[in-house]
């Protein structure tokens, strides 16, 4: 995989925990993280990516957070289980990851309580909304007035992750300041989406159909969630480069505070 030429500064790399899926590959269960997320942390945020297994309550979320300088919550093929937000029962065949739900939702709350920098992507955005009391559309494409935000999985990855639609950034918001833009063109590979926005979240971007595409946690040093996938070949997109650099800057500031 090709990415940006990269020269690391001397000194300790900050540590970013990266949420893993619990998934069966072949006949064995695995804890897995996509390479694109690891590269985005390593090369985009200039930090050490550490996989966080989806072990639920087998470790204490606050203790995990105390050992980290930041958290990246990844996308996933699985949906947040509707029991987590009192939603209607999922359709048969819907992919869930109960171990991930049990791991990430407490991590969000512990991270925000500690003001740990976090960046949430796709499923991560949905988890953030649920962790703070919001709800989700399970199938955005079936909601009157909303577009079909899914990708065509029969197409090559370059097509699946290609430009899909614009998002308008909130004037004066965090994303607008980071990217220097009023509008971005993003990819779109999801069917869950934010329904009721959780208390404490501020809208940072919306799609043409009005679906919330990015949020920040009010009062947090850096806590941002996006519905698209900026990690995909991030080095080719100046806005994505800016987002991961801003995340890395927040993580390094946190690491410096811990070191002192």
Active-site residue set: 122, 229, 231
Q: How many angstroms from the chain centroid is the CA of residue 70?
A: 12
In this structure, the chain runs to a length of 260
- Asked if 131 and 108 count as a contact pair (C-beta separation under 8 A), the reply is yes
Strands (E) in 84-211, as ranges, are: 118-121, 136-137, 165-169, 183-186, 193-194, 201-206
- Asked if 149 and 188 count as a contact pair (C-beta separation under 8 A), the reply is yes
Which of 119, 105, 102 has the alpha carbon at shortest distance from 37? 119
Q: Alpha-carbon distance 36 to 234, whole Å?
A: 9
Q: Alpha-carbon distance 96 to 82, whole Å?
A: 9
- Asked if 117 and 251 count as a contact pair (C-beta separation under 8 A), the reply is yes
What is the enclosing helix (H) or strand (E) of 238?
helix 238-259
């Amino acid at each position: 995989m090709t990415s940006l030429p990269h020269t690391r500064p001397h000194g300790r790399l900050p540590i970013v925990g990266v949420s893993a899926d619990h998934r069966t590959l072949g006949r064995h269960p695995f804890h897995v993280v996509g390479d694109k997320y690891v590269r985005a942390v390593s090369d985009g945020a200039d930090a050490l990516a550490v996989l966080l297994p989806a072990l639920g309550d087998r470790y204490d979320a606050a203790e995990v957070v105390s050992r980290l300088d930041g958290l990246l919550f990844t996308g996933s093929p699985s949906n947040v289980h509707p029991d987590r937000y009192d939603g209607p029962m999922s359709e048969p065949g819907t992919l869930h990851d109960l171990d991930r739900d049990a791991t990430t939702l407490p991590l969000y709350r512990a991270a925000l309580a500690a003001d740990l920098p976090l960046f949430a992507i796709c499923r991560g955005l949905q988890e953030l909304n649920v962790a703070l009391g919001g709800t989700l559309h399970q199938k955005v494409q079936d909601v009157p007035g909303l577009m079909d935000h899914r990708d065509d999985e029969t197409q090559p990855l370059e097509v699946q992750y290609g430009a899909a639609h614009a998002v308008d950034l909130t004037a004066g918001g965090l994303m607008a300041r980071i990217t220097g833009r009023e509008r971005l063109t993003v990819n779109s590979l999801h069917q869950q989406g934010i329904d009721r926005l959780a208390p404490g979240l501020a809208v940072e971007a919306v799609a043409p159909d009005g679906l919330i595409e990015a949020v920040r946690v009010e009062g947090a040093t850096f806590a941002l969630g996006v519905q698209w996938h900026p990690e995909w070949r991030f080095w080719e997109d100046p806005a994505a480069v800016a987002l991961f650099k801003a995340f890395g800057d927040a993580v390094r500031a946190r690491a410096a505070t811990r070191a002192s």
